[in-house]
Structure 1
Amino acid sequence: MPPFLKSRSRIAAHHYHEQDQHQDCQTNIDEKASYNSLTVWRKSLIFSCNGFTVIGSDGSLVYRVDNYSSRPNQIMLMDAHGFPIFTISRPKKLRLVGNYWLIYEGEVGKESSNKPIFCVRKNMSIIKAKPSVLAYVYGGGVSGEGFKYTVEGSYARRSCKIMDESRRALSEIKKKVAMKRGASFGVEVFNLLVQPGFDSRFAMAIVLLLDQMFS
């Protein structure tokens, strides 16, 4: 990683990496489990880009997103070294049938034949049977049968969960609270809690989609 990125990463870690007060929070995430706690900063490490910086519990850079304006319908989640993990795309033809986004492994170019591994649909129902549902996650493409996960809560309040079919919370987005006087960092910096066994990379991909859907 270039020196100026390492420098800015250390600044971000120093400024935002604090212990959370979990004893007062009410959540379906198993507090007894050694869940993975990430700090998500809604800011790119590249000064000329929009994006995200994700910091681990040890203060190290884990994931990053540098969103260039030349690709407004495509977002790439990268690891700390800049290698692509997932590409999130919103194809134009799918806008005619609803608000769909596709998740691909790795980097996807114009000539790529990669097939999507997940399809995510924003809940657009006028009369919502479940008003707390923000999005449905399907395996494979748009024609995938049944949804594997639901995302529920409020992204605007940074309070939502990824639920499996048995309604178990696998990951949770929540406001980050500073130790001193319980002050909040606002909505630009928040926590992503991930249960053991659930892919934190995929959980972060869902965060990126929620930001596209509701910001």
Structure 2
Amino acid sequence: MAKVHPNTEENCVDGVEVAGDRKDKSRVLTVWRKSLLFGCSGFTVFDEEGNLVFRVDNYGCGRAGEVVLMDAAGKPLLTVRRKKLSLGENWKVYNGEDSVDPVCSVKKKYASRLHAKAGLARVADCRRRGGRAAARYEVEGSYSRRSCTVYDERRRAVAEVRPKETARGVGFGDDVYRLVVQPAADARLAMAVVVVLDQMFGSRIPLIKG
């Protein structure tokens, strides 16, 4: 059976070698749509060396409309909450387990006949820096096919979800895929966006209800 986490032979993106701690290289994470804890649903995320970096462990009795992204030791990093009483699907991302001053929002986009390729979601930074307008990002592609990209306002890819294959080209299926994060992007926020996309477009039973 092939390893879920990356190894040195697979540590590349489109033929370019990836060094995990180098600031000028993309960071490649392996996302496993599975909790390592019995009786939980969630995510387990490995770095290029096969080390656990992020996890989501949701019991059935968890808070409605909430998912907590943790580090390997179980420390809350970000909390994703669905905004109630809003048109469409709108999610907020907070630092730690805070419930005020969200870091960013993620809103589902709905395709129309005129804009069939309008994209999956829009991500807006809720924090203003130095009086500048908050940054906005567009998520395009297909999450169900594990092939989508987060673009900034200049159409630069800042994060990508891609299928994961072994060195022999054998796929792992929909539950295991790659998250490629560009050097200037925050891997925690990128993973939080993946959690929201999974709630919006995942074909499996969602992590949370409500």
TM-score normalised according to structure 2 size: 0.81
Paired residue for 1:106?
96
SS at match of 2:77: strand
Distance 1:160 1:128, change over 3 A: farther
Paired residue for 1:82?
74
Paired residue for 2:180?
193
| AA at the equivalent of 2:26 | Y
Counterpart Cα distance in 1 of 2:14 and 2:198: 28
Distance 1:61 1:85, change over 3 A: same
| AA at the equivalent of 2:57 | D
Q: CA deviation at 1:15?
A: 4.1
Structure 2 gap segments, 5+ residues each: 17-23, 128-132, 203-210
Q: CA deviation at 1:88?
A: 0.4
Instruction: Note if contact 2:163-2:177 (Cα within 8 Å) is conserved in structure 1.
Output: yes
Distance 1:98 1:82, change over 3 A: same
Instruction: Note if contact 1:38-1:56 (Cα within 8 Å) is conserved in structure 2.
Output: yes
SS at match of 1:211: helix
SS at match of 1:16: coil
Instruction: Note if contact 2:164-2:172 (Cα within 8 Å) is conserved in structure 1.
Output: yes
Paired residue for 1:4?
none
Instruction: Note if contact 1:132-1:154 (Cα within 8 Å) is conserved in structure 2.
Output: no
Structure 1 gap segments, 5+ residues each: 1-11, 26-32
Q: What aligned pairs does 1:112-151 form with structure 2 within 5 A after superposition?
A: 112=99, 114-127=100-113, 129=115, 131=117, 133-140=119-126, 148-151=136-139
Paired residue for 1:209?
196
| AA at the equivalent of 1:107 | E
TM-score normalised according to structure 1 size: 0.79
Residue 153 (1) aligns with residue 167 (2): no
Instruction: Note if contact 2:28-2:178 (Cα within 8 Å) is conserved in structure 1.
Output: yes
Q: CA deviation at 1:157?
A: 0.4
| AA at the equivalent of 1:99 | E
Tell me the C-alpha RMSD between the 2 structures: 2.2
